[in-house]
Amino acid sequence: MTPLLQVKGIEKLYGARIGCADVTFDLYPGEVMGIVGESGSGKSTLLNCLAGHLVPDAGQVIFDTRANGPVDTVTMSEPERRMLSRTDWAFVHQHVRDGLRMSVSAGGNIGERLMAVGDRRYGDIRDKAIDWLGRVEIEAARVDDRPTAFSGGMQQRLQIARNLVTGPRLVFMDEPTGGLDVSVQARLLDLLRGLVREMGLSAIIVTHDLAVVRLLADRLMVMKDGHVVEAGLTDQVLDDPQHAYTQLLVSSVLQV
């Protein structure tokens, strides 16, 4: 099986300071990988390098494209990369304001990616938008409301719908449950798990919440000071951590 994403020796420097360095891994279709670490550990820098928002100083991010097979997205042309990020890739931001158009209705938000790839039938676009609202558990009647009228949890679900409507194969998520109530988090996690399985999505989730990765991620990468200190099966890393930092991280979690 060809990995969906092959990451080889990714390095990003901020001047003399290391953002992330020497990150290498393969992600296979259907796999969900979590990246954990404290603030400043380089996990968001890594995610942004992978998603093409930052240009790494070294390394390759090879994506198995539908048309041409594995291609290095770091060196591919910008139009190609942007096309990829509107079709096969999705990015769920922690702050919905970065991922939604707050002045556009829920339907318009979901429809944007469809229109961006050339959908020109209003009726179809609207039907798909309503279908997706249902899939993220938002009433169809809210299709013409703006996200500003939605609760935080609904906004995050809308962002997910907007991202998944084109049937991407790889989803990048940056703290998708950050800033939400615990009860809302649980609902979102359940939803994400369902969608990941139904759509056969691969996902890379950056979070500092170990409970989130335990429920969502198959695999885990632990980062510290820009480096991956430990990687493996999620429950193995959490239950039998090998690295000093991971042991500290796991033992620091409050038990409920």
Least gap, CB of 35 to other proteins (angstroms): 14
Residue with tokens 């591919």: 76
Residue with Cβ nearer other proteins (15 or 120): 120
What's the closest the beta carbon of residue 23 comes to other proteins, in angstroms? 16
Greatest Cα pair distance in the chain:
56
CB-nearer residue toward other proteins: 139 or 144: 144
> Which residue's CB is nearer to other proteins, number 1 or number 16?
1
Give whichever of 139 and 239 is closer to other proteins, judged by the CB atom: 239
**Can you tell me the distance from the alpha carbon of 165 to that of 110, in angstroms, rounded to the nearest whole number?**
7
For 69, counting Cβ atoms within 10 Å of its Cβ (0-12 exposed, 13-18 middle, 19+ buried), the class is exposed
Q: How far is the CB of 10 from other proteins (least distance, A)?
A: 19
Strand, coil or helix: what is 2? coil
Look at residue 223 and give its three-state secondary structure.
strand
DSSP string, 58-80: EEEEEEEETTTEEEETTTS-HHH
Minimum Å distance from CB 152 to other proteins? 17
**Which residues sit opposite 171 in a β-bridge?**
90, 203
Nearer to other proteins, 39 or 120 (CB): 120
Distances from the Cα of 153 to the Cα of 13, 14, 24, 159, 160, angstroms: 35, 34, 33, 10, 11
CA distance 234 to 207: 13
- CA distances for 22 relative to 25, 36, 60, 236, angstroms: 10, 16, 11, 23
- Shortest Cβ distance from residue 58 to other proteins (Å)? 25
Name which of 70 and 232 has its Cβ closer to other proteins: 232
The least distance separating other proteins from the CB of residue 126, rounded to whole angstroms, comes to 7
Q: Token digits for 66?
A: 């539908």
Residues that bind other proteins (CB under 8 A): 28, 31, 78-79, 82, 86, 101, 103-105, 107-108, 111-117, 120-123, 125-126, 143-144, 183, 186-187, 189-190, 193, 197, 214-215, 218-219, 232-233, 235-236, 239-240, 242-244, 247-248, 251
CB 201 within 8 A of CB 30: yes
CB of 1 to other proteins, least distance (A): 9
Please say which residue, 62 or 188, places its beta carbon nearer to other proteins.
Answer: 188
